[in-house]
Structure 1
Amino acid sequence: MVQPIPGTVVDQLLAAIRNLMPIAGASCYFVDEQGRPFGHRLNGLSREHLQEYRHDFCERDPFFPALHQPSGKDIVSLEDISSQRDTAGYLEGFLHRYGYCDEVEMFFRRSDGRIAMGVGMIRDERSGRFRTSELELIAKVKPFLQLTLAAYLNTNTEGMQWRTSSFASQLTTREVEVVEHLLGGASNREIANLCNVTVATVKAHFFNIFDKTGVTSRTELVARILTQ
């Protein structure tokens, strides 16, 4: 399974994190073998925010998972990385444009150490920047969340590698995203909401996917991917 954690579990995780302390919003995403985020779910953040992030800022994000894979650090604040990387473009061009002033990222790793999932927590001017005591609270909660998610993160992890298969190479980036949401159990309407498109567009994507891969149904599509 490409998206190993049910959407309801992710939604509950985001809600629990928002109950820890005042934040403007949170985003949960999965991470592929190349350290790229996908399958975002949001709490308190807009789809327009996500769409602009994907289009203009994803590869420039100082929290991009691939950048933090070698460090082994699982809780990263904007202050942590401001001395190591140029964060001005991301901060001024993206966060400040939406009225946000600070961000902290929490990474979850598989048993082999690879980042498999991340949660971004964003603050606005009303709540101010993250305080030391709040970062300490996040650090205390993180091991419990990791333990809770471990069974999901370490189940069928081979399926994550399908993105680098010859099967996936036939598809566009958006078609790959649509398939990943399908494998995560999402309906057409849910996929449309996650991708910020219409249901008709989702159906058109599936038509193109079927045509490219030679399958005739969603069941056959899932079976083909799992046998990859």
Structure 2
Amino acid sequence: MSVHLHEYILLIKELFGAGGFVMPPLFLCALLLWYGLGYRYWTMKSKRSMSIHDMLDFFSQNIDQSPRNIVEQAVQQGLALRNKGVNNLRRYLDEFFYVYLKEIKKFSVMTKTIVVVSPLLGLLGTVIGMIETFDSLGSMSLFTQSGGIAGGISQALISTQTGLAVAIPGMLIHSMLHKKQQKIERELLQIRELLCTQPTPFTQSSHLANQEKGSSS
């Protein structure tokens, strides 16, 4: 195991040396990107097949049921507030749901920024590699300590490839997670509207009691 780890470390060192000084920032960008994407995926993971209406009915009858995702947490929180009969329910729901909205948006700006910056870092490495290539051509030094023409072209291609390798998968996954985020935002809005428009159990019981009093009189 230690032998394979040592080989991987040597391979990374060779890659950093071949790609120039833009490789460490690109490696850091890759780490931050996949950490942010993993966090967003875990936050917005969904294991359900019920609609919002069915979910409200289910958790109204199963209060102690553990929520499996952020939407179910919002449903339970909203039902708890509604059952308390709080005044101005919409304002309270906005305050509580803001926490969920903030959670699903976390690291969104960071991942989008890295997706944009990574190809630019690769392009910077390309320019530096081409400058080294033309310097070698100008001085007619085909072989230098930095690699000469071959070293400059290799650095240009490796840095460009690494920048694209970081950006393209990140862009695709970020796009899918952004669509998931928009879906959850619509669902939270739907939960709020349904909870605010549907009568509370307290209101329903009071209405039935008033009807019984009216019929008895």
Structure number with greater Rg is 2
Greater share of residues in helix: 2
TM-score, scaled relative to structure 1:
0.19
TM-score, scaled relative to structure 2:
0.20
Of structures 1 and 2, the one with the larger relative CO (CA 8 A, separation 6+) is 2
